[in-house]
Structure 1
Amino acid sequence: MNGILDEIKQKTNIDFAGDVELRISLALHIAPLLVRLRNRMQLKNNLVKDIQVNYPLAYDVALIAAAYISQKIHVSLDEDEVGYLAVHFSLALSKKEKKINPKKVLIICSARRGDYLMMQHMFMQEFSEMISKLDIKNAIELPECDLSQYDCIFTTFLNHPFIPKKALRINFFIDEKDKVRIDHALKGNDESSQLLKYFQEDYFMGVIHAKNKKEVIRQMCQYASQLSQFNDDLYESCLRREFLGSTAYGHCIALPHPDSLISQKTFVMTAILDKSIEWSHQKVQLIFLICVEKGNQKDLRVLFEHIAKLMLNDNYIQTIIEQKSYQALTDILGKILKDKLLNVNN
């Protein structure tokens, strides 16, 4: 078990070592799996395509586990069995996403110091588990305050030159709408809003021509190598990942990426084929080459989460393919972010 989790951490920087529930569930799953593999019997999984589309990162992690198991017993797992493994990792990843790192919070308030206690009480009553430090200050104190030490800044008023632009306006007596916005800020959902910076126009290749997936990957890797440095040969690393299992999960999309985090920065190359091609028994026309900064599992999770939402909407995919423009891509990504925000607020 340790070997599987170590391999996953080395490849993705995702650390499952402390997840006791995952270790137990994997142990209970792998014991009969090994018996089946040694007897050349593998289970069918009618939901594997849905798992690939809905939980691409979990499936990717499961492929690493499957490769480790195959290396040890010299029997390859088919995608149906990998899908069953992915369910365990999906649950573990979900727990990681919901885990909140307590934030340092500053509230800028125009009330008297005697009223600060009331504000502090309201905040800690609602959000104590999300806050590691809470300070309340008047605007005139801000020049002497190091604002960079705070993760979140809230203010009961905005018409003052010392109030920073990133401060979020709330009422002194916080209402239900305030609670939703505060919760959103403390949970760090703003990481999703950084999504568009990974899809800059420099990374948009537009329309390309290729006869097969190797040609696509080669062209995109050559382009990517002009924009970033890699700790390993990007093309060869992507081919190794493709050997573990296809990165085409249906819906005309493929997500080639290195078999480990080797990039000096996080970005996504986008290419649209002039004609769809066969990619491991799937029709593909829209390709995202995902390059994640070495050691940065947060970017890996955010990118897979949002691209999964794109794969679940065929209208979004067809719009990008038909319009073949960077503007169409960013418009669709903006809609995905807006949909997520609406879901949070509801």
Structure 2
Amino acid sequence: MSDQHAEAAGRPARQPQRNELRGDEPEAIEAIRLRHPWRTVFAVVLVIAAGLFVYDAAFNRPVYSWDIVGQYLFDTRVISAIGYTLQLTVYSMIIAILLGVALAVMRLSPNPVVGAVAWVYLWIFRGTPVYVQLVFWGMVPVIYKTIDLGIPFTEAMLSITTKDLLPYFALAVIGLALNEAAYMAEIVRAGLLSVDTGQEEAASALGLGWWHTMSRVVLPQAMRVIIPPTGNEVISMLKTTSLVTAVPFTLELYTRTRDIASVTYKPVPMLIVASIWYLVVTSILMVGQYYLERYFAKGVGARPDVQKPTVETGLIGAVGVAPEPGQAGAAEGGGGGGFIPPHSRPGGGA
């Protein structure tokens, strides 16, 4: 078809080269890179827009008060609030992960009662806003003023004031952990279901018990699926700690900077201070998530090495084209021209 177009255009048709008829490698194609001018224009526009925004924020918006930002960025009250924020994040996630694993196992249990209890838990804690749950936990000392221990329907042997037993920090941790456990349960369940059931059958055939099967066979493979969303949940938990003012717990980062802003009457720079520290901690968590994902994804998606032939192979000539002197099959006297039967080629078998 291309030769017909060439003749119609007045150009001589390209004659097939001899090396193409022989089956040799064709000449290298000179590739021309495809240009994307509009992509470059769009990138330049984005860079200019970002530069204009930064310049405007730095010199034309006095409400940002960058001197106030620098003054309170390393203030002792802010640094202390970062510590409380990290404690809320770590403690809540540890409890949520442990409880989430238990709920995931309950969801996969063949016992219908156990599965129903886990499903109701997920329904309640995933179906109501976390802020509403934190408000409820803050009202627990009002609803249950004392915790009485003793024999039912008799006088209490020990009575403990709820407010003394559960301070607002503990209530904030409980509220965050119970809400997050509902999401972690689904993440863990998805990871366990991603492992083929044949792995468990093989482990059972080798005589491994349930604990060793889960810890050495199933979980190491499921972690590749569990780690990425769990890392996202940790980062989300860090930011969700700003809602514990509903308990109320007022020593975490956002509420602390808001209290300072109510005194200095500078809310915008204090919001910038809080945002900077959230970004710093989130960036560190993202780096840790990256290395965890890479560790548990070892061997996944790796291409196997190309298998090399064990014996030397020769060229197969085209039918009807005589091989050149020195080429494999030139001395063969068969009637097939350049065609070399498989049993006559090196490595072709007997």
Which one has the bigger helix percentage?
2
TM-score, normalised to structure 2's length? 0.21
Rg comparison, structure with higher value: 2
Higher relative contact order, chain-length normalized (CA < 8 Å, sep 6+) = 2
